[in-house]
Amino acid sequence: MSKKASTPAAPVPTRGALALLVLGILTSGLAIYQWMELLTLRAGGSTSCGISEQVNCETVWNSDFASAVHDTLGIPIAGLGLVWGLAAVGLCALYLAWAKAKRSVRPATNGLRLLAVAGIVSVIVFAAVSAQVGVMCPTCMGTYALVLAFAGVAWRGLPGPLMPQAGEWGDALKWTVGISAVAFVAMQMPGRATPHAQKAGAFVPGSAAPEKVTYGDEVEPPPVTPPTLEAYLASLPQEQKQSLSNALAVYRAGTPQPAAYPARHIYGPEDAPVKVVEWTDSKCPHCKTLVEELAYIKRASPEGKLSVEARHFPLDGACNPAIPRRGPDAPSVRCEAAKAQVCLEGAKDFWKLRERLFAAQAFLSTDKVMEIATSGSVARPQLEACMSDPRTLGKLRQDVEYAMKFDIRGTPLVLLNGRMVPPSAPLIYSLVLANGDANAAPFITLPPPRAPSAQSGHEGHAHP
């Protein structure tokens, strides 16, 4: 009498898991691309998705929400996308390995569906943030599409009940949370090495940051009552006290250098006890922060204590002989913005228009430069005539030659009373409060300065 052969178990379908694996890899790749673009932005470069004022991922990446995520979790939003993508790849790999070994794939199936739910929630939150900022982020839209496709496949393309059954939650959470946690920890080192969005006004703890300058905004920000030097130093957190001590040591050790060229336009009195000369590039994010910080310092300084002289170091070889030429000599936003500022130096609203140019940095184009620069007291024909005048380029190259005397390595370059110093708003502001006296008694409360190699703070970004 023959025994009846046992029926082999039906093979576990893998097409859905393979599709999810591809989507997870694509999402991870797009997240890496966005992270690299963010690093380009933080280094002062232009990104592929900074298309216009309305279509611009840079504005989203510099939003308060994105900054809060990076500050809180230690990784930017692109890093969270990479964590999600790597978790998806890991769970798909488990599913395929268990299917081949003829083990139950339910923990991986449940994990992939839980990951899909988390992805949909993230899409809703991030899309709402973009809508609130008022711009569309093209690369973010690509991520949203991949996540929604992932959710559709996870729901329809995997076998078994949609929800974890009794007794399945433990394994589902163990694998999903475990893989996600490993990916999150792995992202901490590159995340903490990624520069955070600079926050103007953060050098005055407990005070309101300066209002953002927007094109067409004619509302003057309210004046600020300056604190005493003692109160200001006491309000700084320990890290800022150390940074200020380091910068103050650099200032004290420096030797004042005479001006290479007479100033063309100055804010404040020429005999102010604190004189700032700064070189900037219109697309440099650290320069934007410096311009915003100086705007705040001007509001918060006692009258007559500060003067500011703006000079230019555009990081483009088309108008800066210190930078290698790259491509044709077509008008570039960096060169056009620098020439426009030179031509606005005699205008009564020079400082306001300059702040608007830097406020629009994320979507600044040659057309936007002209739009903003002619939104005040200077008419467009007058500005265009000045920008095409060879004497304007001569003034710009004068600024470059002046900066090269200080072996400029990046922007912004700052001179404080003729001494080259780090672009430190706390240093400038504390010296204003000290009436220019770098040895004022309250400075004794600062910690000892550290050696230059150990100093930290916001450095200018290097030019090519």
Domains and CATH numbers, the chain: 15-193 (1.20.1440.130), 229-462 (3.40.30.10)
Query: Can you list the positions of beta strands (E) in 201-290?
Result: 266-267, 274-280
Written as tens digits, the pLDDT of the chain (464 aa) is 444 445 556 688 999 999 999 999 999 999 999 999 998 877 766 688 877 767 888 888 888 889 889 999 999 999 999 999 999 999 999 999 999 999 999 999 999 999 999 999 999 999 998 888 778 889 999 999 999 999 999 999 999 998 989 899 999 999 999 999 999 999 999 999 998 876 666 676 655 444 444 444 455 666 677 889 999 999 998 888 999 999 999 999 999 999 999 999 999 999 999 999 999 999 888 899 899 999 999 998 999 999 999 999 999 999 999 988 766 656 689 999 999 999 999 999 999 999 999 998 878 889 999 999 999 999 999 999 999 999 999 999 999 999 999 999 889 999 999 999 999 999 999 999 999 999 999 999 999 998 764 333 444 444 43
What's the token pair of residue 104?
A: 């139950």
Determine whether 173 is exposed, middle or buried from the number of CB atoms within 10 Å of its CB (0-12, 13-18, 19+): middle
In order of 177, 188, 210, 356, the CA distances from 180 in angstroms are 5, 13, 38, 42
For residue 308, give the nearest of 364, 258, 269 by alpha carbon: 269
In order of 127, 146, 210, 230, 299, the CA distances from 304 in angstroms are 47, 57, 21, 20, 12
Task: Tell me the angle at which helices 106-133 and 77-100 cross, rounded to the nearest 10 degrees.
Answer: 160
Contacts of 441 (CB under 8 A, 6+ apart): none
In order of 207, 293, 362, 435, the CA distances from 201 in angstroms are 8, 6, 19, 21
Backbone angles phi, psi at 166, to 5 degrees: -55, 130
